[in-house]
């Protein structure tokens, strides 16, 4: 009874850079990101055999409520002019093709205005029954891991073939922290990919020490003021100096778990009586065996 949540942008970027760009549709349109996305999805469906699936999208990759709190949030990804995320020129035309193909297969696609895909996935993980597998190449979702509810992250940093299935022990072993405190660890360490600086002067080791000794930001700040024995004078000073950032960090860093989600059927799609529309789409864009693999993975 597994729910599989796909971090769509994470998958299509990985596919875009991981597949040869010589894969073209008959009209010359690049389709390597589409084929890679479908290939990865088919393999993961085959491995985890979900009975529910959602492809999650950014309704807004820089939600206003995060940017209002921290104006530099993901500002490192902005184009020099304008307010759009830099996206490879040959990826842009592939995304509508991919979304049309997912629609033809009946795979639900969900994005919610002013929320990121991470927030959508986190909310589904919060409200749906487990087991839940969150498929992403992004560490942010490590904060959702929950062994009791069987929520794990299918972490694709090393690709599908060598992916890690992240549980609390994985987080604990990798970062030397209690597994459920990844978000707290990330608040202090920061995340350059999101333009989040963390607390100035506190790196991964310092953040791990803090997360190992305190359950939340308020406890860490109080300990710094009190000269807690687990904190060196230097580390305590850095925490106190970073109080202004730490006031907003929990809201900016933690995923939202209360997004208003559409009422849709998440069940794995049933085979249509006629696959001709899918086969026509396959021929139109030269999607070859990728479409066949997804058909097979779905058991059609």
The closest of 130, 157, 156, 159 to 145, measured between CA atoms, is 130
Which pLDDT value is given to residue 103?
97
SS3 content of the chain, % helix, strand, coil (to 5): 50, 10, 40
Instruction: Tell me what pLDDT residue 84 has.
Output: 63
Strand-strand pairing, 164-166 and 151-155: antiparallel
* pLDDT of 81: 44
For the record, the structure tokens of 238 come out as 């850095």
DSSP string spanning 133-197? EEEES-GGGGGG-BTTTTEEEEE-TT-STT-EEE-HHHHHHHHSS-GGGHHHHHHHH-BGGGTB-
Say how far apart CA 36 and CA 253 lie, in whole Å: 30
C-beta separation of 76 from 128 below 8 A: no
Q: What is the pLDDT of residue 191?
A: 86
Q: Contact 137/157 with Cβ under 8 angstroms?
A: yes
Q: Over its length of 300 residues, how does the chain's per-residue pLDDT go in tens digits?
A: 899 999 999 999 999 999 999 999 999 999 999 999 999 999 999 999 999 999 999 999 999 999 999 898 988 777 544 556 667 889 999 999 999 999 999 999 999 999 999 999 999 999 999 899 999 999 999 999 999 999 999 999 999 999 999 999 999 999 999 999 999 999 999 988 788 889 999 999 999 999 999 999 999 999 999 999 999 999 999 999 999 999 999 999 999 999 999 999 999 999 999 999 999 999 999 999 999 999 999 999
Q: Which domains does the chain have, with CATH numbers?
A: 3-172+256-297 (3.40.50.1010), 179-253 (1.10.150)
Task: Note the pLDDT of residue 86.
Answer: 67
Cα gap 245→197, rounded to integer Å: 9
CB 189 within 8 Å of CB 203: yes
CA nearest to 153, candidates 145, 288, 19 = 145
Tell me how far apart the alpha carbons of residues 237 and 224 are, in angstroms, rounded to a whole number.
Answer: 7
Q: Taking CA 260 as the corner, what is the angle to CA 254 and CA 264, rounded to the nearest 5 degrees?
A: 125
DSSP summary character for residue 26: T
């Amino acid at each position: 009874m597994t729910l599989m949540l796909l971090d769509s942008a994470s998958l299509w970027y990985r596919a875009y850079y991981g597949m040869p760009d010589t894969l073209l549709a008959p009209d010359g349109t690049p389709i390597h990101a589409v084929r890679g996305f479908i290939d990865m999805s088919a393999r993961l469906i085959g491995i985890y055999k979900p009975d529910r699936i959602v492809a999650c999208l950014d309704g807004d990759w820089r939600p206003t409520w995060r940017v209002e709190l921290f104006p530099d949030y993901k500002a490192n990804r902005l184009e020099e002019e304008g307010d759009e995320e830099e996206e490879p020129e040959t990826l842009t035309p592939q995304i509508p093709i991919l979304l049309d193909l997912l629609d033809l297969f009946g795979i639900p696609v969900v994005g919610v205005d002013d929320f990121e895909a991470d927030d959508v996935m986190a909310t589904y993980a919060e409200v749906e029954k487990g087991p839940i597998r969150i498929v992403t190449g992004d560490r942010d979702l490590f904060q959702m891991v929950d062994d009791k509810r069987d929520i794990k992250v299918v972490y694709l940093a090393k690709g599908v073939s060598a992916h890690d299935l992240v549980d609390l022990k994985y987080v604990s072993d990798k970062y030397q922290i209690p597994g459920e405190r990844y978000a707290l660890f990330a608040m202090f360490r920061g995340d350059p990919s999101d333009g989040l600086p963390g607390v100035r002067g506190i790196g991964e080791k310092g953040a791990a020490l803090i997360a190992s000794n305190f359950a939340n930001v308020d406890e860490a700040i109080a300990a710094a003021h009190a000269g807690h024995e687990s904190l060196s004078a230097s580390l305590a000073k850095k925490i106190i100096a970073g109080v202004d950032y730490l006031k907003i960090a929990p809201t900016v860093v933690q995923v939202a778990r209360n997004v208003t989600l559409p009422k849709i059927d998440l069940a794995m799609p049933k085979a249509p009586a006629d696959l001709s529309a899918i086969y026509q789409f396959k021929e139109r864009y030269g999607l070859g065996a990728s479409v066949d693999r997804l058909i097979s993975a779905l058991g059609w």
